[in-house]
Structure 1
Amino acid sequence: MAEANSTAPWNRLLDEARERFEAAEDFTVSIEEEFSLLDPETLDLVNRFEDVQAAAKGTALEPNLVGELIASEVEIKVGKQASFADVPAAIADRRAELAALLERLGLAFGATGTHPWAHWRDQRIIDTPHYRRNDELLQYVVWRNNTFGIHTHVAIRGADRAVRVTSALRNWLPELLAVSASSPFHEGVDTGLHSARTQVFTRAFPRCGVPDPLQSWDEHAEYVRFLYETGSVDEHTQLWWSVRPHLAFPTVEIRICDAQPDVGEAQSLAALMVSLTARCARALDEGEALPVQPPRLIEENMWRAIRYGLSGDLLDLERGDVLPARARIERLIEWVLPVADEIGATPWLRLPEQNAAERQIARRAEGASLEEIYAEQVRTTVPAPG
């Protein structure tokens, strides 16, 4: 390992991040949703992000709208919310604001984990220093990443505690993916997967997927420091783990989930992710034993979630049982309920009869075209008025 340099900027970054975690207010929340920008007639992806960004200037949406890799994508943030109780309305409001903005530009938007037929060669990476650098570093890996997700940020007080919450959340990443799976079609192919997005992104990017379990901030900082000192990264966001402590905010960020076409399901998924994060923190506070599974075992469940989503089975890694994914997730919801009540998430905790991947696969089996199926998903992205 390169010799440590106490004056290096990454050491300052780590010190400041630790201070923010120590001062954080537990369980404030933000949600980020990635949407595809579409031609409203053909539903093809369109490279119009810069137009959307310009149109947002001076509106309520401006501080909550950012670019995300390709010019046919936009990310919308709900902003920091004091508790989960404020999140569902914020998700609906942001989607409605985006819909109104895009309508003025003659555009639409979608929210499945992949676009069903668009090809990566037709997408343009946006011209920012961050994405130019990722383009330079990752080449084909980043060019192929035309995917869309939903991320949660939950503030956790205490740097060591945040790292331990991150390690606990690793165990349930496959369950969250199974609930959220929405991307069975990619580049015109019926992939046979429920989450092609995860296969395209998580299986391709470096420093991605299920992280090792860590138990202290010092362990995490040592690894981040190693990456900087060896020239492996030059931005902290180049740790693309499916769950991570975020160094710019005092939050634990869950990044595993496919984007949600249905606004109600986005709200419900956010409730589960936030409740699970808070439940892990409470368990640590109360001395409740939490499993520490090795990545190789979690990856077995991850593959099951990618391939079969909510329709398949998942492993109970503690008992060695194989259970329907729905049963695993129902157990998980039962476990998080005490904290869900506390943070106002319980009314939103529910499993859909079918998730987005299952709906699309069923319609394909009935003979519907990719265009018809995608149009049905797009119609659910904006909440009904009133």
Structure 2
Amino acid sequence: MRESTVGKPYEEILEEAYERFEAAEDFTVSIEEEFALLDPETLDLVNRFEEVQAAARGTALEPNLVGELIASEVEVKTGKQASFAEVPAALAERRAQLAALVDPLGLALGATGTHPWASWRDQRIIDTPHYRRNDELLGYVVWRNNTFGVHTHVAIRGADRAVRVASAVRNWLPELLAVSASSPFHEGVDTTLHSARTQVFTRFFPRCGVPDALPSWAAYADYVRFLYATGSVDEPTQLWWSVRPHLSFPTVEIRICDAQPDVAEAQSLVALMVSLTARCARAIDEGEPLPDHPHRLVEENTWRAIRYGLSGELIDLERGDVLPARARVERLLEWVQPVAEEIGAAPWLRLPERNAAERQIARHAEGASFEEIYAEQVGLTVPAG
């Protein structure tokens, strides 16, 4: 479970975080994937996390399995990987371990950004200090957050450098979201969105979505001090930005992406996120100019990614041109390619013919029910063999 830092002096939190960043080893990676716990017959969400946690005790999965807000959800982590080359196998292994754990319990796993028909009213908040605190602070906001994502942590050496990398990565959050969109259906509704998850999460939670660009660790630390001094937060994880320098790990964490039903697409998406983070770090090291687009313009593209995903258009904020989202992502793939080759991610970089949202929307247009469509996505979640 996540350990609460409520009551810990914020200056101590900032000092320890700074020291960790200064001593970090570049480009180690850890991935977190969130999964729905399902009745295998009905594919309804079921509140059984505590049983899954108990079953994991004493297994290889125990240190890499945590709760994530609701009792019908479970998160697994790859753990720290020395390089990206180890990540794809670790992702597949964790999914297989989790499937082997839940199958004897009579459970299945789902990995789309939202469950297509489950109601938030039927989900229970897990009983941990961290999530009890979020429940107290946020109430309805946290109750409604029945969403599933994939988070990527990339270690960055140097506190100033980490803040600058996060500020650079924010410019491409819409492209990452467009690739990952997997949640067109929510609470029994065809939302017409490609990522209902992002609309639910980033429009409900405070201190969420696209952050402002910050020039230095000092600027970031000053903001954190302001939040603590004004009683706005009482632990550092309450900055829920879509990309953030993490205050518990020396990483830049990207949090914008929907969960991925297909493990191969999860591997490819993670390769892009890690490559982008490393590419931004290399650009900073070499003095290459990086964009610094205003929050309002990145948000404009974020909305386009929420609404239309890879099927729509994104704005080239340098030129003001409007391009197909796929063309924008293809340009991004070209830009990160040299560093992707350096870190071993290049073989995994690929743009799917249709992402998970597009597949589901197409099937619905053909007349398939939510149940049929979700069953197809659930069938992709665990690698065969």
TM-score, reference length from structure 2? 0.98
Distance 1:176 1:231 in 2: 33
Q: Report the equivalent of 2:229.
A: 229
| Pairwise CA distance, 1:229 | 1.1
Distance 1:281 1:213 in 2: 15
Q: Report the equivalent of 2:39.
A: 39
Change (3 A) 1:8 1:113: closer
- Runs of 5+ in structure 2 lacking a partner? 1-6
The residue type paired with residue 351 of structure 2 is: L
Q: Report the equivalent of 1:153.
A: 153
| Pairwise CA distance, 1:8 | 7.3
Does 1:289 pair with 2:289? yes
Deviation sequence 1:165-201 (CA, Å, 0-9, x none): 0000010000000000000000000000000000000
- Runs of 5+ in structure 1 lacking a partner? 1-6
The residue type paired with residue 84 of structure 2 is: F
Q: Report the equivalent of 1:72.
A: 72
The residue type paired with residue 366 of structure 2 is: E
Q: Report the equivalent of 2:276.
A: 276
Distance 1:225 1:262 in 2: 41
| Pairwise CA distance, 1:17 | 0.2
Q: Give 1:333-372 correspondences, 5 Å limit.
A: 333-372=333-372
Deviation sequence 1:264-288 (CA, Å, 0-9, x none): 0000000000000000000000000
Q: Report the equivalent of 1:87.
A: 87
The residue type paired with residue 214 of structure 1 is: L
Does 1:116 pair with 2:97? no
* Secondary structure at the counterpart of residue 31 of structure 2: strand
Q: Report the equivalent of 1:3.
A: none
Distance 1:383 1:254 in 2: 24
| Pairwise CA distance, 1:384 | 1.4
Distance 1:121 1:30 in 2: 32
Q: Report the equivalent of 2:182.
A: 182
Distance 2:26 2:11 in 1: 25
* Secondary structure at the counterpart of residue 19 of structure 1: helix
Distance 2:123 2:235 in 1: 24
* Percent of paired sites with the same residue: 84
| Pairwise CA distance, 1:295 | 0.5
The residue type paired with residue 321 of structure 2 is: D
Q: Give 1:300-379 correspondences, 5 Å limit.
A: 300-379=300-379
Deviation sequence 1:303-327 (CA, Å, 0-9, x none): 0000000000000000111000000
Q: Report the equivalent of 2:131.
A: 131
* Cα RMSD for the two superposed structures: 0.8
* Secondary structure at the counterpart of residue 34 of structure 1: strand
* Secondary structure at the counterpart of residue 221 of structure 1: helix
Deviation sequence 1:57-98 (CA, Å, 0-9, x none): 000000000000000000000000000000000000000000
The residue type paired with residue 336 of structure 1 is: V
Distance 2:170 2:319 in 1: 17
Q: Report the equivalent of 2:172.
A: 172
Report runs of 4+ in structure 1 exceeding 2 Å deviation.
none
